[in-house]
Amino acid sequence: MSDPLQENAQHAHHIRKALGDMGADVVGFADTARYDREIIGLGEGVLEKYPIAISFGLLVSRGVLETLIDGPTLFYLHHYRQVNYRLDMIAYLLARQLEAEGHRACPLAASQMVDWERQLAHMSHKHMGVAAGIGWIGRNNLLVHPQFGARVRYNTVLTDMELPAGAPLERDCGDCVACVSVCPAGSIREKAEAFDHRGCFEILQLFKNKRNLGHHLCGLCVRACGGNA
């Protein structure tokens, strides 16, 4: 008779290895029942259909971030897009592998906003990462990893494969306020829950138009919250 815990651990090792082979720097598993945010455009009952979320991330180049002085650049935009493209390809390949092994799987898009003013995607990768125990939501409104800070971009694959789900970390940014003074919109406050979403969107819109980016982007708080690795 098989041991469910051992089988889940084997599944986790299998997925971690597959993602590691594809270049993922961070991997976690979440019980989708812990996800309490809005879901847009994925159909009814998506969390019941996919009880597990595989959350994974790629590091943004520290060297590229260090080129940011007073806001986003075309150089940073290219790197940002390439990381997102890689995240999308990893999600696609992992979902295809899961389906080939007889499981349901749904790969999400790494960066596809469906409501820019409210800064909402189909599903929040950062809040799924919180559910997986990868990190916490920092003062900068980003998922902060204990080792890498906010210097990670994430994606999610939903599945019905049985995996050992993590739990939210009981941590926060503590005394670190490195991101507060660098925010060009003044949107980052002492308390994480006081983050000014509207002000952040307005500065992103300004950068998009004035810097000919064609994309809502900043990166300054990511640079400030680069972690220790």
What tens digit of pLDDT does each residue of 91-116 get?
999 999 999 999 999 999 999 877 76
pLDDT at position 2, please?
A: 59
CA distance 168 to 156: 16
pTM for the full model? 0.93
DSSP-based helix, strand, coil % in the chain, nearest 5: 40, 15, 45
Asked whether residue 199 is domain-assigned, the answer is: no
Asked whether residue 208 is domain-assigned, the answer is: no
Residue 37's pLDDT band, with cuts at 50, 70 and 90, is confident
pLDDT at position 3, please?
A: 74
Handedness of CA 160, 83, 183, 178 (dihedral sign): positive
Q: Is the pLDDT of residue 1 over 60?
A: no
What is the overall mean pLDDT for the chain? 93
CA distance 187 to 67: 22
Q: Is the pLDDT of residue 166 over 90?
A: yes
CA distance 5 to 9: 6
Q: Characterise 102 by phi-psi region: left (phi > 0), alpha (psi -120 to 50), beta (else).
A: left
Q: Is the pLDDT of residue 54 over 70?
A: yes
- The pLDDT of 48-56, averaged and rounded, is 97
Asked whether residue 198 is domain-assigned, the answer is: no
pLDDT in tens, 168-201: 999 999 999 999 999 999 999 999 999 999 999 9
Domain that holds residue 148: 4-67+75-171
Asked whether residue 19 is domain-assigned, the answer is: yes
Asked whether residue 150 is domain-assigned, the answer is: yes
Asked whether residue 191 is domain-assigned, the answer is: no
Asked whether residue 192 is domain-assigned, the answer is: no
Cβ partners under 8 Å of residue 84, min gap 6: 110, 111, 153
Asked whether residue 128 is domain-assigned, the answer is: yes
pLDDT at position 59, please?
A: 98
Query: For the chain, what is the domain count?
Result: 1
